[in-house]
Amino acid sequence: MSAEPQGNFAPGIRAEPRYRRVVIKISGEALTGPCEFGVHQPTLMRIAADLAATQQLGVTIAVVVGGGNLVRGVRVAEQGIPRVTADMMGILATVMNALALESALESVGAPARTMSALAMPELCETYERRRALHHLEAGRMLVLAAGTGNPFFTTDTTAVLRAAEIGAQAVLKATNVDGVYSADPKLDVRAERYAELTHQQAIERGLKIMDATAFALARENGLPIIVFSIREEEAITRVVRGKGRFTLVTA
């Protein structure tokens, strides 16, 4: 599969989605928009509208949201706070982002439920696989917070883990760049953009778009990972239809 637009679609006819159940990983940084910190409300609403439009195509969606726009555990640990504590602070940040996204989804008419890997009954439901599947079958979008509930594991790994648990067909990794590059394209003008990779190649080349644990788990479960930019209008909708620019990572 190429990362360029695919297929011949007649004008006015919407292409059928290539995947019917997906987990979408949205980084915390994607929520900052033009800002350097926090949640940029217009950006949040744009993403929510895109998710709602994708769901209307007949796609069942679970979203794993990061927390790097508020707290990044690794950086906090570098300042002297124990890594476990720093990671738990990052986990709390993902819950705040998840609640914000749930509210935005509800405001655009997409029923949503936040489920946390850590019990926070006053704020949201605790993640439990059968309950999560019930919400999906009832037409609700899941917003999955608190990562795996454990330090040292990234939300990338969480996205692949939850995808395997709920029977998703793919993991969509929404980032600030339009695919996987051999180096950071913002720092290296010679960075090569890949249209397609295998999980093993991504691990062996040390590509930093996702951590090695996430790639290995995806490989073991035969889950494709699609890496694309969330900064464009209708980015998610296009990707599930096989359109736009992205990198496909498969077995």
Please check whether residue 75 lies inside any domain of the structure: yes
Q: What is the pLDDT of residue 209?
A: 84
Please check whether residue 81 lies inside any domain of the structure: yes
Please check whether residue 124 lies inside any domain of the structure: yes
Tell me the pLDDT tens digit for each residue of 40-66: 999 999 999 999 999 999 999 999 999
Which residues constitute the domain of residue 224? 21-250
Please check whether residue 2 lies inside any domain of the structure: no
Task: Tell me the CA distances in angstroms from 188 to 178, 182, 193, 202, 210, one per residue in order.
Answer: 15, 9, 11, 19, 19
Full DSSP string of 132-178? HHHHHHTTPEEEEESTTSSTT--HHHHHHHHHHHHT-SEEEEEESSS
Tell me the pLDDT tens digit for each residue of 72-85: 766 777 778 899 99
Q: What is the pLDDT of residue 10?
A: 34
Please check whether residue 210 lies inside any domain of the structure: yes
Please check whether residue 8 lies inside any domain of the structure: no
Phi and psi at residue 165, to the nearest 5°:
-70, -40
Q: Which residue in 143, 7, 236 sits closest to 246, CA to CA?
A: 236
Per-residue pLDDT of the chain (251 residues; tens, 9 = 90+): 333 333 333 333 356 899 999 999 999 999 999 998 999 999 999 999 999 999 999 999 999 999 999 987 667 777 788 999 999 999 999 999 999 999 999 999 999 999 999 999 999 999 999 999 999 999 999 999 999 999 999 999 999 999 999 999 999 999 888 999 988 888 888 899 999 999 999 999 988 788 899 999 999 999 999 999 999 889 999 999 999 899 999 98
Q: Tell me how many degrees the CA angle 237-245-12 measures, rounded to the nearest 5.
A: 45
Please check whether residue 4 lies inside any domain of the structure: no
Which CATH number covers residue 43?
3.40.1160.10
Domain tally for the chain?
Answer: 1
Q: And the tokens for 23?
A: 């987990």
Please check whether residue 181 lies inside any domain of the structure: yes
